[in-house]
Amino acid sequence: MKSELYDKLGAKQGVNKIAHHFYVNFLKDDLLRPFFENIDLKQQERKMNAFLTYAFGGNSLYTGKTLRRAHTSLVEDQGLSALHFDAMIACMTMTLKEEGTSEDLIKEVIAILEYQRNNILGT
Ligand code: HEM
């Protein structure tokens, strides 16, 4: 169950740590970083944290933009594609490995993010 996933990842403290570490890692990636050049990074980190908290079952309310709407202009104007989505998934996998998360939990997290693939890419 989703709420169990949130707890297994260490609840608020654990998920905040994962969200921060993820964001540090994706900014190091040459393929991903250019998309964030004109973005308020502090705010982006907060938004990602809010979404992950919601997606992992820690909060039943998500008040951010839908992921479709948040990424439409990136797809249409900046060429956001499956290549970038794959890099984001690889980045989350690496982040969780560095955090010492078990393989089973990593699979659960990646399945949740994969569920958003078509939504984010508009495919
Ligand atoms: C697992 C995949 C992804 C998730 C869960 C995710 C999540 C989010 C969230 C929650 C937001 C903020 C929405 C809001 O404004 O309320 C956002 C915005 C954004 N995302 Fe993603 N994202 C993903 C993939 C990507 C990829 C692959 C890229 C580019 C390489 C990307 C680039 C951006 C950028 C640049 C923004 C800021 C848009 C703006 O403020 O105009 N995202 N994303």
pLDDT in tens, the chain (123 residues): 456 899 999 999 999 999 999 999 999 999 999 999 999 999 999 999 999 999 999 988 899 999 999 999 999 999 999 999 999 999 999 999 999 999 999 999 999 999 999 999 998
Contacts of residue 80, defined as CB under 8 A and 6 or more positions apart, other chains included, come to 35, 71, 74, 120, 121
Task: Tell me how far the alpha carbon of residue 67 lies from the centroid of ligand 1, in angstroms.
Answer: 7
CATH of the domain at 81: 1.10.490.10
- Domain hosting residue 21, numbered range: 2-121
Contact 99, 91 (CB under 8 A): no
Q: How far is CA 63 from CA 5, 27, 93, 94, 104, in A?
A: 21, 24, 26, 28, 29
Specify the pTM. 0.94
Q: Which of 22, 62, 88, 114 to mutate to test the pocket of ligand 1 (most atoms within 8 A of CB)?
A: 88
How many domains would you assign to the chain?
A: 1
Task: Tell me how far the alpha carbon of residue 68 lies from the centroid of ligand 1, in angstroms.
Answer: 9
Give dist(CA 16, CA 107) in Å, integer.
19
Task: Tell me how far the alpha carbon of residue 97 lies from the centroid of ligand 1, in angstroms.
Answer: 22
User: Measured from the CA of 36, which atom of ligand 1 is nearest?
Assistant: 35
Closest CA to 23 of 43, 3, 7: 43
